[in-house]
Structure 1
Amino acid sequence: MSSLSANDLHKIFTKLDKNGDGLISIDQVKWLLERIGFHTTLEELQRLVGPTTSLDSIEFFIFYDIVVKSNIGRSNQTNSFDGDLAEAFKVFDLNGDGFISCEELQKVLSRFGLWDEREGRDCKSMINIFDTNSDGLLDFEEFRTMMVSSS
């Protein structure tokens, strides 16, 4: 199975978002995963996405990249959530220094087609929400908190 492009993921998200509210439910994500051969229980899925009952498009893209792409072609191995998060962290930590900077976050989100400067987003404010030590960077624990928190 090949990876999907950002455009493909946007089309899938739009099709699943039948009411146009910009959110898809965990049940819809489970249905989609089953269609592509990735079987999981609702409980397992909720452990991965946290206490939220729905995902917006950015959360869906990140979820796809972290969970689905990292498991394509694997047998039914059980992988630890923290192991998957560590792999995802490496995707964002472009220079390998153990931190995610604003610039790295913006580059990765741009690569996924999730960043458009014209929308007026501020990556510093995105990081500041989870930056518990106020150093302007995300370390792994802060990244983990970000990934398991609901929006």
Structure 2
Amino acid sequence: MRKNMMEFERVLSYFDEDGDGKISLTELRSRMRKISGDFQLNEAEIAIESLDSDGDGLLSLEDLITLMESVSEDEKLKDLKEAFEMYDNEGCGFITPKSLKRMLKKLGDSSKSIEECKLMIGRFDLNGDGVLSFDEFRIMME
């Protein structure tokens, strides 16, 4: 489901300095320099080239939506990785029953036993190895 269309249109109108409904290379670079300070010409060219769906050298509202949705997905993935790392407090790349118990205790639930943590992990342990990989954790969180 897409975010509020008005939000996307507002972002488009911010970048679209000449009001033609599309974002040119010059407009993208100008606005990005105001936002982030330095935005090189080659960075703007790469952004337009990779997002321009109809090949006209301009970004349409649909192109902008694609960009914003992909950024949103990247942020979610980053947040999930950070959460996973909190549970993977042993640093082994997996959530073990022991690391789950330790994290639950930090979160205020000290009542879970190792056996209960094994059962919790077992619900989402797709390959049956007794631990949660990042991919299994991601599926669990969806």
- TM-score, normalised to structure 2's length? 0.46
Higher relative contact order (CA 8 A, sep 6+): 1
Higher helix share: 2
- TM-score, normalised to structure 1's length? 0.43
